[in-house]
Amino acid sequence: MEINRIHTPVMLERCVELLAPAIGAPGAVLVDGTLGMAGHAEAFLQRFPDLTLVGLDRDLDALGIARERLAPFGDRVKFVHTVYDGFVDALDGLGIPAVDGILFDLGVSSLQLDRVERGFSYSKDAPLDMRMDATSELTAEVVLATYSEADLRRIFHEYGEEKLSARYAKAIVAARQEAPLVRSAELVKIITDVTPVAVQRQGHPAKRVFQALRIEVNQELAVLERAIPAALSTLRVGGRIAVESYQSLEDRIVKRALAAASSSTAPPGLPIELPEHRAEFTLLIRGAELASDEEKAINPRATSVRLRAAERVRSAA
């Protein structure tokens, strides 16, 4: 299948290992919050024959591919077109009150990168789009045309961790006064022209700006801030969550959310921890787990992955 050639699920075996204790029983429900082209989902459905899978994705192209790929599993799969902070509403709509497993594979998908017309890649000329959901209104072109210099500087700094954010914002505002920016190659040229040669030797100068624009267009960090606590609230006792992040901003949000859920709420200095103060979750991985060197060599997307996981050990108060 052509999909398998372009999409290799990251840390698949480890995700299966982490979630297996929670989803092996008949009637178990696993939510894939970032279904994509269904690489992970297909593997879980094959290995757990009694599993029901709910697949969420904001990308209609990805949902179309996933529907075709997962068609052999029939009504064991439920598809929902939604951004993943709509987690609880999606389950409510399906009449599912609680789930046994949750998987998030964050970031831009292989499909989005490989389809040039989507505009996610700085290495290929395309319209400045960058929408994960083609039905939404905000595009990278709109951001570059309408945001103030201060706002552009802010998103480049916050979402791209770009040290030259002020320089790039100023250059973009100057350029758009001459002509609208509509193609990715135009943006790359503006950035490259004002980047010192020494900095260019450290990597492509547009990489962080493109990341920042993608995050802004899709509100990825704000969505993630809402999505992880919402997802955790749906797990029944013994249920497990695994989250794969690909850049430090995402991983920081996941780390904070799982740390809060796995911490006692007892006031400092209390001699005895009361049952209602005990943590609702326990971490399954100390820190973040990385892909093996062997997997990184085979699958370049695994190079930057950070995997975190937790299990619900107590019901909510």
- Name residue 54's beta-bridge partners: 31, 78
Strands (E) in 246-284, as ranges, are 281-283
Q: Confirm whether residue 105 is marked as ligand binding.
A: yes
Flag whether 33 is marked binding: no
According to the annotation, is 112 in a ligand binding site? yes
- Distance CA(132)–CA(139), nearest Å, equals 10
In the structure encoding, which two tokens stand for residue 85, read together?
Answer: 């902070």
Nearest 5°: the CA angle 280, 285, 286 is 100
**Which residue in this structure is represented by tokens 């979750």?**
281
Measured distance CA(308)–CA(224) in Å, rounded: 14
246 is in an annotated binding site: no
Strands 281-283 and 306-312: antiparallel
Rounded-to-integer distance, Cα 58 and Cα 80, Å: 8
40 is in an annotated binding site: yes
- Half-sphere CA count of 257, side-chain side, radius 13 A: 23
Cα-only R_g, the chain: 21
CB contact burial 294-303 (16+ within 10 A = b; e otherwise): ebbeebebbe
Residue 11's closest CA among 283, 251, 304?
304
DSSP reduced 3-state for 182: coil
38 marked as part of a ligand binding site: yes
Q: Which residues are annotated as a binding site for S-adenosyl-L-methionine?
A: 38-40, 57, 84, 105, 112
Q: Which residues are annotated as a binding site?
A: 38-40, 57, 84, 105, 112
